[in-house]
């Protein structure tokens, strides 16, 4: 049952389905239909939960039996027509505080307590989940595969295989500008521009959001030099830009997983980030690779990454990302997930 409310969730669901098929399972995807934007997170989640229930009911009627069900996100499971496994990057217990999750949090606890199997994306997601999710041995961490896109591209773009061939100084992904901390990134970029060595030109690309959306969000770009908004791109186009970038920079207010950061590491970018609450999977990796590039002094870390990048960073990042490779996830799905799926 794919909620698919973001591009990242849709790709993650497709990856899991492909892994299950490679393990020998027959899989079909029920997709919730998108709905019009709602003014609050409570209403937004209600709309998605109702859409997920409708899609699940229809899919179960077509299936004509009792298949194993995997609900992707706790929101997809809130109004489930039948119990099933729940896969999640984060729970409402963490990302819907206060009034934003008044009805979601108690219902989520009930669903997590009743689900026969829980499939968090990361250990951090499980630690942040409510107590019922951590009772017993029902949880199996199944990461979303993250593969480098550079390997296939190097045959066509050989210069991009090395940092010397990267012609973009920095890139950030800001599909939700407030949540991704774009204002902090822009402030750091302004400070970096004033401290760059003479003659050094550096440009920051903002992906995942249009200039019009930034204006509606109150983000002002006219006072920030050397910034270019590239908008919401097809995934292949976006990864092509990431391959050309030396640095991926972000300052999230909260990070539910951080798939964009993991993809940037896979494609050879140096990751510059502030710490953030939430199950931020790339954060411990970034700290281990170079602690100078993780902290509240975003401008200082960004300047360091541009003028004094760490040695062998990309090679060490590839080693750190070994558990996230498609081969590693396929083995986990075949050996540990498929035998445990109910039904």
Domain ranges of the chain: 7-144+325-340, 150-323
- What H or E segment, with its residue span, contains residue 277? none
Specify the pLDDT at position 154: 47
Instruction: Give the pLDDT confidence of 256-290 residue by residue, as tens digits.
Output: 999 999 999 999 999 999 999 999 999 999 999 99
- Residue 172: phi, psi to the nearest 5? -135, 155
Q: Are strands 118-120 and 168-173 parallel, antiparallel or unpaired?
A: unpaired
Average pLDDT for 245-259: 97
Specify the pLDDT at position 64: 78
Specify the pLDDT at position 74: 97
7-144+325-340 folds as Rossmann fold (3.40.50)
Residue 162 has pLDDT above 70, yes or no: no
* Residues linked to residue 248 through DSSP beta bridges, in sequence order: 171, 271
Residue 202 has pLDDT above 70, yes or no: yes
* Structure tokens given for 201: 């030109």
Average pLDDT for 305-329: 96
- Residue 164: phi, psi to the nearest 5? -60, -25
The span from the CA of 234 to the CA of 257, in Å, is: 20
Which pLDDT band holds residue 63 (cuts at 50, 70, 90)?
confident
The span from the CA of 22 to the CA of 186, in Å, is: 43
Residue 243 has pLDDT above 50, yes or no: yes
Distances (CA, A) of 328 to 9, 87, 125, 142, 260: 20, 18, 19, 10, 19
* Structure tokens given for 103: 């009805």
Distance of CA 37 to the CA centre of its chain: 21
* Structure tokens given for 87: 């896969």
Residue 95 has pLDDT above 90, yes or no: yes
Average pLDDT for 189-203: 92
Specify the pLDDT at position 150: 67
Average pLDDT for 235-240: 96
Distances (CA, A) of 89 to 9, 127, 135, 289: 9, 11, 18, 23
Average pLDDT, the chain: 93
* Structure tokens given for 88: 């999640």
Residue 152 has pLDDT above 80, yes or no: no
Specify the pLDDT at position 220: 86
Average pLDDT for 96-114: 95
The span from the CA of 261 to the CA of 71, in Å, is: 25
The span from the CA of 241 to the CA of 254, in Å, is: 24
Cα dihedral angle (257, 263, 265, 268), rounded to 10 degrees?
-170
Residue 343 has pLDDT above 80, yes or no: no
The span from the CA of 285 to the CA of 263, in Å, is: 13
SS3 337: helix
Specify the pLDDT at position 165: 74
Which pLDDT band holds residue 136 (cuts at 50, 70, 90)?
confident
Average pLDDT for 207-233: 93
Percent of the chain with pLDDT over 70: 95
* Structure tokens given for 57: 């009911």
Average pLDDT for 95-106: 95
Residue 157 has pLDDT above 60, yes or no: no
Domains 7-144+325-340 and 150-323 share a fold: yes
Rg (CA), the chain: 21
Q: DSSP code of 206?
A: E
The span from the CA of 61 to the CA of 326, in Å, is: 32
* Structure tokens given for 275: 């710490």
- Residue 132: phi, psi to the nearest 5? -60, -25
Residue 161 has pLDDT above 60, yes or no: no
Residue 158 has pLDDT above 50, yes or no: no
Least confident of 35-49, 68-82, 106-120: 35-49
150-323 folds as Rossmann fold (3.40.50)
- Residue 205: phi, psi to the nearest 5? -100, 135
The span from the CA of 111 to the CA of 128, in Å, is: 16
Specify the pLDDT at position 164: 59
Average pLDDT for 98-116: 96
- What H or E segment, with its residue span, contains residue 63? helix 41-63
């Amino acid at each position: 049952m794919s909620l698919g409310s973001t591009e990242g969730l849709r790709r993650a669901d497709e990856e899991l389905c492909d892994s299950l098929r490679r393990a020998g399972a027959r899989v079909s995807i029920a997709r919730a239909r998108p709905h019009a934007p709602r003014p609050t997170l409570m209403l937004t989640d209600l709309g998605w939960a109702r859409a997920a229930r409708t899609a699940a009911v229809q899919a179960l009627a077509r299936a004509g039996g009792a298949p194993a069900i995997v609900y992707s996100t706790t929101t997809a499971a809130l109004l489930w027509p039948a119990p099933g496994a729940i896969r999640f990057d984060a729970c409402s217990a963490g990302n819907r505080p206060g009034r934003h999750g008044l009805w979601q949090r108690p219902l989520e606890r009930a669903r997590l307590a009743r689900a026969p199997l829980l499939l968090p994306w990361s250990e951090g997601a499980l630690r942040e989940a409510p107590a019922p999710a951590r009772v017993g041995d029902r949880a199996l961490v199944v990461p979303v595969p993250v593969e480098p896109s550079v390997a296939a591209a190097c045959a066509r773009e050989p210069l991009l295989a090395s940092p010397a061939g990267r012609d973009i100084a920095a890139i950030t992904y800001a599909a939700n500008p407030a949540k991704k901390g774009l204002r902090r990134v822009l402030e750091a970029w302004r400070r970096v521009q004033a401290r760059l060595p003479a003659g050094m030109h550096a440009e920051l690309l903002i992906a995942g959001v249009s200039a019009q959306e930034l204006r509606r969000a109150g983000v002002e770009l006219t006072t920030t030099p050397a910034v270019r908004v590239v908008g919401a791109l097809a995934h292949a186009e976006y990864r092509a830009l990431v391959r050309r970038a030396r640095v991926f920079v972000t300052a999230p207010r909260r990070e539910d997983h951080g798939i964009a950061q993991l993809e940037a590491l896979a494609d050879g970018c140096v990751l510059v980030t502030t710490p953030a609450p939430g199950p931020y999977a790339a954060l411990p990796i970034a700290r281990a690779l170079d602690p100078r590039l993780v902290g509240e002094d975003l401008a200082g870390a960004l300047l360091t990454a541009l003028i004094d990048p760490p040695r062998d960073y990309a090679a060490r990042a590839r080693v750190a990302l070994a558990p996230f490779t498609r081969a590693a996830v396929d083995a986990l799905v075949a050996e540990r997930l498929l035998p445990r799926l109910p039904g």
